[in-house]
Structure 1
Amino acid sequence: MKTNNEPSFRKSVDLMVDKAITAMNLDMGTAQAIKTCNAVLQVKFPVKIRGKIEVFTGWRATHSTHRLPSKGGIRFAPYADQDEVEALAALMTYKCAIVDVPFGGSKGALLIDPSLYDRDELEMITRRFTLELVRKGFLSPATNVPAPDMGTGQREMAWIADTYKHLHPEDINYVACVTGKPVHHGGIQGRVEATGRGVQYAIREFFRHSEDIKSANFTGTLEGKTCVIQGLGNVGYHAAKFLTEEDGVIITAVIERDGALISDQGINIEDLFQHISEHGTIKNFPSASFEEDGLKVLEKECDILIPAALESQITLENADRINAKLIVEAANGPITYGADETLNKKGTIIIPDAYANAGGVTVSYFEWIRNISHMRFGRMQKRHDELRGHQFASMLEEATGKSVSNNLRSSITKGADELDLVRSGLDDTMRLAYQQIRDTLDNNENVHDLRTACYVASITKIARSYIDIGVF
């Protein structure tokens, strides 16, 4: 949807970073070192499909190696290109820094439409792509660790991990070469929904700050706020599900590639998800009206707009007509640089992508640590915590002379399992990162919006790392 007079996705990211660099008066040499993409690999490889040879093109960009491994997803998409991959790799660097995940930024893509191939064909293609990445040093638990992205998931990550294992059977940490794997193949509880859960936690933290609530012209709590969401993939589905079921948010519109559904009374996300699973489309969903022009529905009046699909969805063409008080970038780069400027002038508050969708890489970090340590979280302390809980409940009964109710005893004596610990760690990460962004906004007179504050906080950490280790 990007107009001809707007910069590319990669240029938009650079312009937003430049704005932050100007605000923090960073030395230009240091700034240039931080912005520069360290390495980009392009591979072309043949695979025999249905009796014919097809040649596929893939990329892996490593934006920064100031921390290792470099981290970032691999997407399978028919529109992928090197410019997009480099932009996403840069975003990953800033994203990891803002949530204090000790990784550099990387990203990969394969130019392919996954819907045109069956499972066995996709497995052959994925394993062949993995072979190219490993041979050229762009996939390793120590240096470069992929994760799922658009068009990929747990299945593809399991294929990648298995291929790496066969190429490097001597590497005892082979399972850490990729994250987002199935739990029974070294994955971690909570990774599938992590990005959507992180979006929820980001919005919750926003609503804990009275000055932010006021700046967005909100009153009250998150409950009852109306929301339009674009994209009901993994991120959008989980974000919408958690916000409606746990926080009382009302989803008044859902935008998908084949149109949009509108219902001011609220759309049941789980019912809609089942409808899409059965019919492959949002059309004919019984509880909402259908709108053919999905992009137009981005302009629907609402409290919260969550673009969770593709980049460059809100542009100079439609930014003036956006009627949301708060925009939460669950996707990467859904707002162009020009649109960002327009929305800021209008007073629209934007929770930027580099923070809002960092839940995925945060839980990927937990999974990587789990794989490196070769032990699931909670294994050593869960029963100990349960025993201490029982002792505490007994102490209460002895001190008060009254019995503790079964519900209270159950809550006191429950030891945290892996999923509990993952959610706790993610919640803590999203809270602390937002507080750092807010501190930057409050303490730098040249910073006037959350996106610039996010980049300033992130770049400050990266610059400190570069200077401390003597990269220059």
Structure 2
Amino acid sequence: MSNLDIKPTFLENVDMMLNDAISYTKIDKEISKIIKTCRSVIQLKFPVKIKNKIEIFYGWRAVHSQHRLPVKGGLRYSTNVSQEEIEALASLMTFKCAVMDIPFGGAKGGLLIDPKKYDEESLEKITKKFARELIRRGYLSPARDVPAPDVGTSPREMGWILDAYKSLRPDDINHVACVTGKSIDHGGIKGRLEATGNGVCEALKEFFRHPEEVKKVNLKPNLEDQTIIIQGFGNVGLNSAKALHANGGKIIGIAEKEGGIFSEKGIDILELENYLKENNSVMGFPGTKQINPSSELLIYKCDILIPAALENAITLQNVDKIQAKLICEAANG
């Protein structure tokens, strides 16, 4: 069996990247052991009565490092959630905060669920029960552990968590700070929802302010001259596309879970957003070619590729086939 036939797990990939980074530093080997270790992880199994039937749900919260408090990290709802994934994402949160000197430790949480299978009332019950389980065990509070939206969650879920925290800790005058990414009505910040996607656009705009770097990857000098493919059209992918489209970028491909769309002439992102709201899918958008599986779009010819969905999109199996001249990472790993 060749190395290409062996697909490392997400946690193994993170460990490999960390070992590679450590090899370029003078960090003491004993200290590196501490840096690589996830300090704590809790698995929860809790019942919720849905439509007169008891269902058991599985959730996790991992804390990679408490060197700075509170620890910070999103809460995702997905059928792919596992303890290994949550530990890997928690460690990445530590390093992202450290690189930017943001005074938080790293954490991550997840619930093994397909949120599309439940109505809003049921999801609220599940979310509040999950939150209460975390709160009672010290894994959710303004001072120690603060979640945020991630894959499958949004300001709506953060509002439910805030309500659950306030009901259990009515004496905490900082209760509003138990989550970030909440709606404006719940004390959230304007622009938070679009922040990550806008950040992708700002990162690319900064890149094109450095002609010597642009020449290294053989790109034309301006952002508006580039063809762009985006993997993922959720919060990050959509807002990245909108910001890039507004700055003159030519989006030629969008890859989603159910399939991808492609147009050499470019895709009108605002029209696609409206189409998505009406049809709950990007598939069939007028003037585009459908691509199945959508992973094929990752190896289409373009100037800039933006992975903005789940981790492990670029692997040993497809990395040598990618034709993009520049990859702008917008996903966690």
Q: TM-score, normalised by structure 2?
A: 0.97
**Aligned residue for 1:358?**
none
Tell me, what secondary structure is at the counterpart of 2:15? helix
Q: Distance in 2 between the 1:188 and 1:218 partners? A: 36
**Aligned residue for 2:220?**
219
Q: Distance in 1 between the 2:104 and 2:93 partners? A: 9
Name the amino acid aligned to 1:177.
Answer: C
Tell me, what secondary structure is at the counterpart of 1:24? coil
Is 1:146 matched up with 2:167? no
Is 1:318 matched up with 2:302? no
**Aligned residue for 1:380?**
none
1:210 Cα offset (Å): 2.4
Q: Distance in 1 between the 2:294 and 2:74 partners? A: 27
Q: Distance in 1 between the 2:183 and 2:44 partners? A: 27
Q: Distance in 2 between the 1:67 and 1:218 partners? A: 40
Q: Distance in 2 between the 1:63 and 1:163 partners? A: 25
Q: Distance in 1 between the 2:13 and 2:248 partners? A: 35
Q: Distance in 2 between the 1:160 and 1:77 partners? A: 17
More deviation, 22-31/214-223: 214-223
Q: TM-score, normalised by structure 1?
A: 0.69
**Aligned residue for 1:116?**
117
1:216 Cα offset (Å): 1.3
Tell me, what secondary structure is at the counterpart of 1:60? strand
Residues 251 and 266, structure 2, Cα contact 8 Å, conserved in 1? yes
Q: Distance in 1 between the 2:99 and 2:209 partners? A: 19
More deviation, 314-323/115-124: 314-323
1:317 Cα offset (Å): 1.4
1:320 Cα offset (Å): 1.2
Q: Distance in 1 between the 2:293 and 2:47 partners? A: 39
**Aligned residue for 1:61?**
62
Tell me, what secondary structure is at the counterpart of 2:149? coil
1:287 Cα offset (Å): 2.0
Name the amino acid aligned to 2:328.
Answer: V
Tell me, which stretches of 5 or more residues in structure 2 are unaligned? Answer: none
Taking the TM superposition and a 5 Å limit, the aligned residue runs for 1:227-242 are 227-242=228-243
Superposition RMSD in Å = 1.2
Name the amino acid aligned to 1:107.
Answer: K
Q: Distance in 1 between the 2:291 and 2:23 partners? A: 43
Residues 162 and 178, structure 2, Cα contact 8 Å, conserved in 1? yes
Tell me, which stretches of 5 or more residues in structure 1 are unaligned? Answer: 334-472
**Which is higher, the Rg of structure 1 or of structure 2?**
1
Q: Relative to structure 1, is the Cα distance of residues 3 and 186 closer, same or farther in structure 2, using a 3 angstrom cutoff?
A: farther
Q: Which has the higher strand share?
A: 2
**Aligned residue for 2:328?**
328
Name the amino acid aligned to 1:276.
Answer: L
Name the amino acid aligned to 2:43.
Answer: Q
Tell me, what secondary structure is at the counterpart of 1:277? helix
Aligned residues: 331
**Aligned residue for 1:126?**
127
Identity of aligned residues (%): 53
Taking the TM superposition and a 5 Å limit, the aligned residue runs for 1:170-319 are 170-245=171-246, 247-319=247-319
Q: Distance in 2 between the 1:145 and 1:80 partners? A: 19
Taking the TM superposition and a 5 Å limit, the aligned residue runs for 1:406-421 are none
**Aligned residue for 1:79?**
80
Residues 158 and 179, structure 2, Cα contact 8 Å, conserved in 1? yes
1:4 Cα offset (Å): 5.1
Residues 228 and 253, structure 2, Cα contact 8 Å, conserved in 1? yes
1:260 Cα offset (Å): 1.3
1:285 Cα offset (Å): 1.1
Residues 220 and 226, structure 2, Cα contact 8 Å, conserved in 1? no
Name the amino acid aligned to 1:210.
Answer: P
Q: Distance in 1 between the 2:8 and 2:254 partners? A: 28
1:160 Cα offset (Å): 0.3
Q: Distance in 2 between the 1:58 and 1:291 partners? A: 34
Q: Distance in 2 between the 1:291 and 1:170 partners? A: 54
Q: Distance in 1 between the 2:212 and 2:92 partners? A: 28
CA deviations on 1:50-85 (whole Å, 9 max, x unpaired) are 111111000000000000000000001111000000
Q: Distance in 1 between the 2:61 and 2:281 partners? A: 32
**Aligned residue for 2:48?**
47
Q: Distance in 2 between the 1:166 and 1:79 partners? A: 31
CA deviations on 1:213-262 (whole Å, 9 max, x unpaired) are 122112312122110011110000000100111x2110011111121111
Name the amino acid aligned to 1:190.
Answer: G
